[in-house]
Amino acid sequence: MRRFPLRTLLLMVLALIVFARLYWATHSKQPKEAGEPPSPGPGMQVDVVPPSGPPKGAPKAPAPGGGPSSSASPACVTLDRTLDAVVRNPEDAAALAEAQRKLEACLEPPVRACELGAALAVRAPMAAGDTPARGLLKALCQRCPAETNACAGGVARVLMEGSTGHTRDTAEALWYLENAGPGTPAACAALVRLALVPAATTGGKFQEPLRPLLSALAPRCAGAGHLPAAVVSAAVVHQGAQAGELTGLATAPAGSPTPMTPAQITGAEAGSHAFDGKERSGVDLGNGRTPRWEADGALRGQFEPPLKQLTSLRVRAKGAGSLRAIVRLPPGVGMEDQERDTFFVNPTVCQFKGTGQWETCTLPVPLLDVEAISVFPALPRIAFYELEASGTR
């Protein structure tokens, strides 16, 4: 075997020592922890924004009341899957029992679970009787918010079908309303929009199938304070003898009626003659339609502020026609008067024959929040002499 010269061996040992020192110099510092930001360079500031949640490893804040969040509880997390099993097979006793148990433990069901209520209503119709699935639907409705409440949606659906002329079971709509829970205000709002407003509007599309629904549902909504009193009285006056159960729901503020004079008169020129208290003076009115015909007619007397109640009317004219009250409603309810930025209904309050003699129009209940009286001639031309309105402010 060939030997390396001594000088070569010494050089190799020296090289090994240098390599060891370099390795030690570059690997002796501890590495930075993962996620630690680099040190800023000279002259650079770093603003550290604290995280919105608790730091890692910190205990989570307790839910209100000291317990865990209801929607995050195990029962809530899996409730939708359990309800879906019931929808697929409403006769599955095990699935029903499991869904009932989880629903009792989940005070605030998640959105998906509430949305399954509509499918559950289809699979558990009222005609099938008081089935366990129907009881599950009832419990679900009493927990779900208005926007995903199957019972509130059921009321609206029945009313929409009634507004198109289809007869529906009144008992079914009443069951939905009685069990709507947090969705009760929304269900009553649908009743106002789809049934009560058309019943109080001249020319409104009020279908006969809506009449029994309105009679059955209105008392419960009124008892809960979800029916505007002004639209109730307007519907009673407009429907007359057919108002049914609505008549008993109408209310009126206390006060002794006195003659009321409009603050503003619009329409025909010299229209003020119809409100001046002089029987001989009057104004000629025609029935040519204008862009504001539904609100103003041929002549409009505006009350400022609106009357608290209107109790009776007297009219003297030569030629037939009708009077409509413009009843102000809360924003978003009824027809919109964009020029005045108000909402209203326009019940017909008087049909006069126009014999030239005084005709009295007595209202079955006082009208509330009346902002105007409008005159609508039934003929191309009539002579309108005088209009007297009695009420309170």
**Which CATH number do you get for residue 341?**
2.60.120.260
What's the pLDDT score for residue 271? 86
* Total domains present in the chain: 2
The answer to whether position 185 is within a domain reads: yes
Pair (164, 287) in one structural domain = no
pLDDT tops 50 at residue 37: no
What is d(CA 31, CA 65) in angstroms, rounded to the nearest whole number?
Answer: 45
More confident residue, 39 or 358: 358
Q: What's the whole-number mean pLDDT along residues 4-12?
A: 57
- SS3 sequence of 105-151: HCCCCCHHHHHHHHHHHHHCCHHHCCCHHHHHHHHHHCCCCHHHCHH
Task: Compute the mean pLDDT over every residue in the chain, rounded to the nearest whole number.
Answer: 84
Residues in the chain: 393
Pair (236, 287) in one structural domain = no
What is d(CA 213, CA 210) in angstroms, rounded to the nearest whole number?
Answer: 5
The answer to whether position 201 is within a domain reads: yes
Domain boundary among 249, 275, 308: 249
Cα of 188 vs its chain's centroid, Å = 9
Angle at 185 between CA 180 and CA 189, to 5 degrees: 115
pLDDT tops 80 at residue 91: yes
Domain boundary among 249, 277, 308: 249
> What residues have CB less than 8 Å from 315, skipping those under 6 apart?
323, 350, 352, 358, 359, 361, 384, 386, 387, 388
Task: Identify the band that residue 192 occupies on the pLDDT scale cut at 50, 70 and 90.
Answer: very high
Pair (240, 262) in one structural domain = no
What's the pLDDT score for residue 69? 42
Pair (265, 236) in one structural domain = no
Pair (78, 187) in one structural domain = yes
Q: What's the whole-number mean pLDDT along residues 107-130?
A: 91
What's the pLDDT score for residue 42? 35
pLDDT tops 80 at residue 55: no
Amino acid at 69: S
The answer to whether position 380 is within a domain reads: yes
Is 0.85 surpassed by the pTM of this model? no
What's the pLDDT score for residue 6? 57
> What residues have CB less than 8 Å from 48, skipping those under 6 apart?
none
Pair (213, 334) in one structural domain = no
What's the pLDDT score for residue 63? 40
Pair (84, 210) in one structural domain = yes
Q: Tell me the H-state helices in the chain.
A: 6-27, 74-77, 79-88, 93-105, 111-123, 132-141, 150-163, 170-178, 184-191, 197-199, 210-223, 229-239, 293-296
Pair (268, 329) in one structural domain = yes
Domain boundary among 222, 249, 276: 249
Q: Are 374 and 326 in contact (CB under 8 A)?
A: yes
Q: What's the whole-number mean pLDDT along residues 265-277?
A: 86
Domain containing 303: what range?
A: 258-392
pLDDT in tens, 315-369: 999 999 999 999 999 999 999 999 999 999 999 999 999 999 999 999 999 999 9
pLDDT tops 70 at residue 163: yes
Pair (223, 316) in one structural domain = no
pLDDT in tens, 197-236: 999 999 988 999 999 999 999 999 999 999 999 999 999 9
Pair (197, 284) in one structural domain = no
Q: What's the whole-number mean pLDDT along residues 95-122?
A: 92
The answer to whether position 84 is within a domain reads: yes
What's the pLDDT score for residue 88? 92
Pair (243, 159) in one structural domain = yes
- How crowded is residue 151: how many other Cβ atoms within 10 Å of its Cβ? 29
Cα dihedral across residues 64, 69, 70, 74: positive or negative: negative
